[in-house]
Structure 1
Amino acid sequence: MIALSDIEAAARRIAPHIRRTPLLAATALREPVSTAELFLKLECLQPTGSFKVRGATNRLLLTPAEDLPRGLATASGGNHGLAVARSGALAGVPATIFVPRTISAEKLAKLRDWGATVRLEGAVWDEANVAARAFAAETGAVYIHPFGDTSVIAGQGTVALEILEALPDLDVILVAIGGGGLVAGIASVLKALKPAVRIVGIEPVGSPTLRASLEKGAVTRLDAVTTRVATMACGKTEEIVFEIARGAISEIVLVEDEEMLEAARWLWREMGLAADLSGAAALAAIRSGRLDLPPGAKVCALVCGAGSEGIQA
């Protein structure tokens, strides 16, 4: 498990290198989505466009300097890769990012803009990850897991500290889940500081990784991953994520890819926010009607990733 003190230390450590993102009240809407009091945590405004910069930066700063000269390596659907690429730029070392062929063209271009070497491998993250681990073992590069690393999870958890400072009477938080590092970090904070908060995870219908594991009572590999959302496509979570999640998450709502696209369009129309589909997942769950939010409840939805899907559509 991850202690609150680890997350508080991560917050101090990464503070000079990340942005403290706004918590924006979703008011004055033409098309309201809920009778709850909705707030959006805008992690899409981080330097690389997602919360992932928190965990990757914490992992970098905890890595001994003598381990860095051979560079960094990871596998990613896009957002974690961008965070690791930026970490390599901060440290002045090369970053090699393995991505599935389903990665968006926009994120692929951004990875190269950060100076990373990008390798296309497999149809889903799990296949890219096998190649990334093999590369790290062969070259000595520092491998940074996107969700199974305790220092990465602690970094992601720092977003919850900011939310509670801005909204201490929070009732419900909605969190998109790919591998589960973000929800594990947030749950670690809320269990320690405000255990009454209802934590709702959001997964694609085509990649219900954590829900399948929670239903079976053990970490479970999906038979198939069919979502087109590369940043949320994961066939198997990690044991540490599962152990934290099963004692903290109230429920998991599944959303269709098209519902995330429509939610990204809503965020652009109503809020002027350019979100990727994972960044729109929490709004998709609200708009779907499959989530019961009491009138007047204070609800925080994470807009966890930036993208142009809602603008282009």
Structure 2
Amino acid sequence: MTTTSSAGSESTAAVTLDDVRAAARLLDGVATRTPVDESRALSAIARTRVVLKCENLQRAGSFKIRGAYVRMARLSTEEKARGVVAASAGNHAQGVALAAQLLGIDAVVYMPTDAALPKVAATREYGAEVRPEGGSVDEALEAAHAEAERTGAVLIHPFDHPDVVAGQGTLGLEILEQVPDVRTIVVPVGGGGLAAGIATAVRAVRSDVRVVGVQAASAAAYPASITAGRPVRATRLATMADGIAVGTPGQVPFALLRDAGVEVRTVSEEDLSRALLLVAERAKLLVEPSGAASVAALMASPGELEGPVVAVLSGGNIDPLVLLRVVRHGLASAGRYLSLRLVIGDRPGSLAALLGQLARSGGNVMHVSHVRTGVDLAIDEVEIDVQLETKGPQHCQQVLDDLRTAGYRIAP
């Protein structure tokens, strides 16, 4: 994990504590006051008290309804009549669609062509028109800009607007009320609106509270932007955490995070998958990979952050197919899923003997496949691919040692 500090000297504060408090009044009865839940399992790993802020239980499945509703509720009557347009991989799309439904506004949402089908379906169910466009949020956003210019519809940016940032900042006010002794808040970062809103609200009330942002290392625009002193486009966007895979930071949140000196850390795909698995298994909460970024940072660097720490679970809108892949990846990263390739004699009973050996070692066989032809195989040999569920890294090593002791050849 790497860290970067966004301290700077030029002040361009576009959002104030009063703005966030006004947004909170506007959201009263609209956004859910999501619960907090202390995690003993994560506290033990992080070596400090950790409390989860469960924004995955928010309406529409993420924090996005906060900013979207505030922005749209403040439109004039004439602007509302023209309708709104937005771009999103899923969470902002659903937030805009729900806000439009509540406010009686027509909404068009551009989504990347590979957006998760459940997120697309949910956006449509809230009443918005969904238009697939481009391979990323940035490309979808370009289409949304063009639609706004062509039709006069109001663009509801996912993060780069003061009203949106103020709305997201209401989450910070809730944290201060629910965990009054908080010392550190860890927040997933995409475009930066959520972290900027939280930092603005929290540091205005409690300057001693540290706010730490987290990005996926393979889709991290903030570290380079902080170094350059301005928003810089990420060189790649290749992460399971599609909710924070944003190419370029927003001008408004970047300035706020820079002025607040907010640190931005990065986590690997393995960190994300392990975090998602832990939250599901130990906290009994379903989150998407981007929503688990805060937990991933705590697990990757135990003991580094002063507690009590509040880890924001920013969203829970995960495609079940992605969940299946991520859980499998998380099991492998945690040493609880072992994939083996062995060469055995092509004789009756050989496979049964192998499975018996694995059973004696305590491995739970999940999948077996045969390969009978190959340049590295003799005429009387067969290659077996086996996938096992294990009890952890030590058990994995025991299974391997037992196989070698029994005379099995494990292919590289």
TM-score by length of 1: 0.94
CA distances 1:19-47 after superposition (whole Å, capped 9, x unpaired): 111111113x3994221100011111111
Instruction: Please identify, of 253-262 and 79-88, the stretch whose mean Cα deviation from structure 2 is larger.
Output: 253-262
Return the alpha-carbon distance in structure 2 between the equivalents of residues 142 and 56 of structure 1. 12
Q: 2:20 aligns with which of 7, 27, 47?
A: 7
Q: Secondary structure at the match of 1:174?
A: strand
CA distances 1:89-138 after superposition (whole Å, capped 9, x unpaired): 11223211111123222212211221221111111111110000111111
Q: 1:129 aligns with which of 141, 149, 172?
A: 141
Return the alpha-carbon distance in structure 2 between the equivalents of residues 250 and 53 of structure 1. 24
Q: Secondary structure at the match of 1:273?
A: coil
C-alpha contact 2:46 2:302 (8 A) present in aligned 1 = no
1:142 partner amino acid: V
C-alpha contact 2:42 2:50 (8 A) present in aligned 1 = no
1:291 CA drift (Å)? 6.9
Provide the identity percentage: 37
1:307 partner amino acid: N
Matches for 1:198-209 after TM superposition, within 5 Å: 198-209=210-221
166 and 204 in structure 1: CA distance in 2 versus 1, 3 angstrom threshold: same
Return the alpha-carbon distance in structure 1 between the equivalents of residues 279 and 118 of structure 2. 18
Return the alpha-carbon distance in structure 2 between the equivalents of residues 33 and 99 of structure 1. 37
Q: 2:89 aligns with which of 51, 74, 77?
A: 77
Structure 2 residue runs of 5 or longer lacking an equivalent are 1-12, 328-412
Q: 2:316 aligns with which of 268, 282, 306?
A: 306
1:83 CA drift (Å)? 0.3
Q: 2:109 aligns with which of 97, 110, 115?
A: 97
C-alpha contact 2:48 2:303 (8 A) present in aligned 1 = no
291 and 210 in structure 1: CA distance in 2 versus 1, 3 angstrom threshold: farther
CA distances 1:268-302 after superposition (whole Å, capped 9, x unpaired): 111111101111111111112377124xx200000
RMSD over aligned CA atoms reads: 1.8
Return the alpha-carbon distance in structure 2 between the equivalents of residues 303 and 223 of structure 1. 26
2:97 partner amino acid: A
Q: Secondary structure at the match of 1:17?
A: coil
TM-score by length of 2: 0.72
Q: Secondary structure at the match of 2:28?
A: helix
Return the alpha-carbon distance in structure 2 between the equivalents of residues 31 and 298 of structure 1. 9
Return the alpha-carbon distance in structure 1 between the equivalents of residues 79 and 42 of structure 2. 53
Return the alpha-carbon distance in structure 2 between the equivalents of residues 279 and 291 of structure 1. 21
Return the alpha-carbon distance in structure 2 between the equivalents of residues 48 and 151 of structure 1. 19
1:70 CA drift (Å)? 2.8
Task: Give aligned pairs, total.
Answer: 310
Instruction: Please identify, of 154-163 and 200-209, the stretch whose mean Cα deviation from structure 2 is larger.
Output: 200-209
1:306 partner amino acid: G
CA distances 1:218-248 after superposition (whole Å, capped 9, x unpaired): 2212233222422111111122212111122
C-alpha contact 1:104 1:230 (8 A) present in aligned 2 = no
1:311 CA drift (Å)? 5.5
Q: 1:67 aligns with which of 79, 82, 85?
A: 79
C-alpha contact 1:101 1:123 (8 A) present in aligned 2 = yes
Quick check: which has more Rg, 1 or 2?
Answer: 2
Structure 1 residue runs of 5 or longer lacking an equivalent are none
Return the alpha-carbon distance in structure 1 between the equivalents of residues 179 and 276 of structure 2. 24
129 and 290 in structure 1: CA distance in 2 versus 1, 3 angstrom threshold: farther
